[in-house]
Chains A and B, each alone.
Chain A
Amino acid sequence: MPEVAGHLPGLSTEKVAWHTLTFGEGSEALDVAVPTLDDAQISVLAAHVRQARSSYLKSLPTAQIIATIDRAIGRLLDRNDPWRRKMEALLPRITGYDAEMVRLGLTGYLKTFRAPELNRFIAEDFANPQLLDGFQPTVKGGVAKAVGPELMVHIWAGNVPGLPLWSLISGLLVKAGSIGKVASAEPLFAGWFAKVLGEIDPRLADCLGIVWWKGGDEAPERAVLRQADLVLAYGGTGSLEQIRNRAPATTRFLGFGHKVSFGMIAREALDPSKVWATAHRAAFDMVRYDQQGCYSPQAFFVERGGRVSPSEFSRYLAHELAAFERKFPRRRLSFEEAGRVAAWRNAEEAKALMSSDRQILTDAECAWSVVYVEAPEGLAPSGLNRTVLVVAVDTLEEAVPRVAPLRAFLQTVGIAAPPEAVYRIGALLGDAGATRICALGEMSAPEAGWHHDGRFNLLDLVTMVEIDRSAEIAAEALAPYAD
């Protein structure tokens, strides 16, 4: 029996054509059936979701939506819940990530969607959260209400398990109907969430459709995009461009493209009592999901002048990576990924041959690599999958102009530095294009309500509907009680 992906309210599953994706090999192989809808079925699904949204979700108080999501998340946090068990059992097989890493990652991630966090999420974007429930007075006069799209289309990437939750929950919070397209690399999570939600509130789950098509397939993509009031897509620059071009010109488009993140370590974090923890946190940021996240560090800039030198730090980092390889072994790489790692290493080895200020630290199986660089180098994408550049700098400031050429791609900076430096460097990094400065060791765990790529998660989804002061005044003249 294959595991069935997707969520198709309003469609009869027998009439849908299913495609099988196979993960793993031999006795560990897992078949996942993903739905392939024709144009007519896409229209039926979209109409069903729109209808469910307008007849139910649209007028549901935000507090109730939050309570329902909270119950669903509560179930997924409960290690005895059947859905949670399924996630723990199948996600490692689908993604190849170490089972323990997935389990701990799931809990850490799901925790950020409990009711208090969701309230924070809303408060982050709306000074007055009631704007989502009805018209509220505005400072300039008149009243305003935030209205979410009737139908939001999500196109997800498969790099990090659970990724669809961010935009799915964002959509629910602004009372949008959603159709989401899961990635071939991780087709299950979104559908599971819809099913759990459906066990708690079936009418709410009717406002979500979860579908699949082969990434880039033109006909289904166009058919779904045609239905959208708003499109939110994750992916590389090329695929984002393609999606944007296939969506109607009137459809709002929000793209989350590939990003580059890095770490900065001040000399204060490099004394004999702190260097272990510093290296441990830096390694953890790399190991979590094998650097597949937009927030994963691809380089560390390490300040000279501490009791432990940047070169010595790189050795501590290497040993932490070796220790993590035992705790959370790297997943098996695809042919392409292994090729990318090898190409990166070959290039680094060639550079190391030419100059004495470059050292490569790695293990026999190349499960991780640290390249230490003495020369003043900038930021370049690493080979990923636990490969990183450690660049020595005289001061952290010195690194900022070197990352600036990647402005359009900068995202998270994990920093270990004293308070004054965090604010000073933070301001410089912000000017250079970075959008999130966090503690080293927390790079892969964004806070609830963070501004993904510097944008507003909820505010970007809504349109404000205003009743002008003029309309209020004019209406007064027409009131039955007008004198």
Chain B
Amino acid sequence: MDFKDKVAVVTGASRGIGAAIARAFAAEGASVVVNYLQNDAAAEQVVAACQAAGGDGVAMRADVTSETAIRTMVDEVLGTFGKIDILVNNAFKPYAFDPEARRLFWNSEWRDYESQFDGALFSTYHLCKAVLPSMQQRTAGSIINIASDLVARPTIPYHEYTTAKSALIGFSRNLAMELGPLGIRVNCMAPGLVYPTDASRTTKEDVKDAIVAQTPLRRIASPEDVAGPVLFLASDWSRFMTGQTLYVDGGLVMA
């Protein structure tokens, strides 16, 4: 895969899955915008890794829960690189994946759901809107939204999180319908439990073992494992795919 001369924006890319995706794009020659919220040093490390891998990288701090911040960032990217070919919506609202402490449905509040809908959809909605003019101009572009395999198989019912990710898949399908005629593709990548990331660092061994026991490829995903399918969806190899969800969980979900 060659992403030379391609510009990819990856949100939430200073750590975990986002960082692995950014590094993987750079290794294939892309110029990567490493969006992040808090950790300057971590983002700079990812940028350094991108450059070391042979691509280009630039860290851009922007709170993607703010429409203004999104607009400013996209303008800045366009000012620097002149275009955006690939958008990976990876950032999400912090969520504690703790099977023991998760909230039972009857103890949940509607605002928990609202907060996750916002987390999963707000930034994706506004980022998609913001990059659209650049993609439309060239009648090309690939948007990849990061969902979760919990949507198809709620191994642990994290109600509000998984419901919001389900909405994200619905959002992506509609957008694929809308943008297909304009040459822009929209797909989702739905990873299983990815370890280690900040979100999964405290996941207990017995949970991981239980998942591994049901997983044909017999292990948990690492951040690097989920980068490949994102690159595929971003590349010309998948040029005739849109509105799809790729499950990347070692075969736990087959859909």
Residues of A within 8 A of B (CB): 100, 104, 276-277, 280, 319-320, 323-324, 326-327
Binds A, one of B74-82, B173-181, B211-219, B228-236: B211-219
Contacts of A276 in B (CB 8 A): 213, 218
Contacts of B100 in A (CB 8 A): none
> A320: nearest residue on chain B (CB-CB)?
B218
Q: What would be 15 A-B contacts, judged by CB atoms less than 8 Å apart?
A: A100-B196, A104-B205, A276-B213, A276-B218, A280-B212, A280-B213, A319-B218, A320-B218, A323-B212, A323-B218, A323-B219, A324-B219, A326-B219, A327-B219, A327-B220
* A354 CB to nearest chain B CB (Å): 33
* A430 CB to nearest chain B CB (Å): 32
Interface size bracket, B side: 10 to 19
Contacts of B219 in A (CB 8 A): 323-324, 326-327
Contacts of A323 in B (CB 8 A): 212, 217-219
Answer whether residue B222 sits at the interface, using C-beta atoms and an 8 A cutoff.
Answer: yes
* B140 CB to nearest chain A CB (Å): 35
* B202 CB to nearest chain A CB (Å): 10
> A108: nearest residue on chain B (CB-CB)?
B205
State the CA gap A104–B195 with chains docked (Å): 15
Contacts of B225 in A (CB 8 A): 326
> B216: nearest residue on chain A (CB-CB)?
A276
Contacts of A280 in B (CB 8 A): 212-213, 218
Q: Is the interface of B mostly helix, strand, loop or mixed?
A: loop
When the two chains form their complex, are residues A326 and B205 in contact, meaning their CB atoms are under 8 A apart? no
State the CA gap A104–B225 with chains docked (Å): 23
* A321 CB to nearest chain B CB (Å): 10
- Chain B positions 192-242 with a Cβ under 8 Å from a chain A Cβ: 196, 205, 212-213, 217-220, 222, 225
* B11 CB to nearest chain A CB (Å): 26
Contacts of B217 in A (CB 8 A): 323
Contacts of A320 in B (CB 8 A): 218
* B165 CB to nearest chain A CB (Å): 25
Contacts of A100 in B (CB 8 A): 196
* B197 CB to nearest chain A CB (Å): 13
> A324: nearest residue on chain B (CB-CB)?
B219
Going nearest first, the 3 A-B pairs with the smallest beta carbon separation are: A323-B219, A323-B218, A326-B219
* A343 CB to nearest chain B CB (Å): 30
Contacts of A326 in B (CB 8 A): 219, 222, 225
Contacts of B222 in A (CB 8 A): 326
New contact pairs (8) apart from A100-B196, A319-B218, A326-B219, CB-CB < 8 Å: A104-B205, A280-B218, A323-B212, A323-B217, A323-B218, A324-B219, A327-B219, A327-B220
> A277: nearest residue on chain B (CB-CB)?
B213
Contacts of B205 in A (CB 8 A): 104
* A242 CB to nearest chain B CB (Å): 41
* B111 CB to nearest chain A CB (Å): 31
* B213 CB to nearest chain A CB (Å): 7
- Choose among B217, B219, B220 the residue with the greatest number of A CB atoms under 10 Å from its CB: B219
State the CA gap A104–B212 with chains docked (Å): 17
* B62 CB to nearest chain A CB (Å): 30
Contacts of A327 in B (CB 8 A): 219-220
* A88 CB to nearest chain B CB (Å): 12
State the CA gap A319–B196 with chains docked (Å): 21
* A283 CB to nearest chain B CB (Å): 9
State the CA gap A327–B209 with chains docked (Å): 12
State the CA gap A117–B217 with chains docked (Å): 37
State the CA gap A324–B219 with chains docked (Å): 8
- Chain B positions 138-191 with a Cβ under 8 Å from a chain A Cβ: none
> B250: nearest residue on chain A (CB-CB)?
A323
State the CA gap A319–B250 with chains docked (Å): 13
* A125 CB to nearest chain B CB (Å): 32
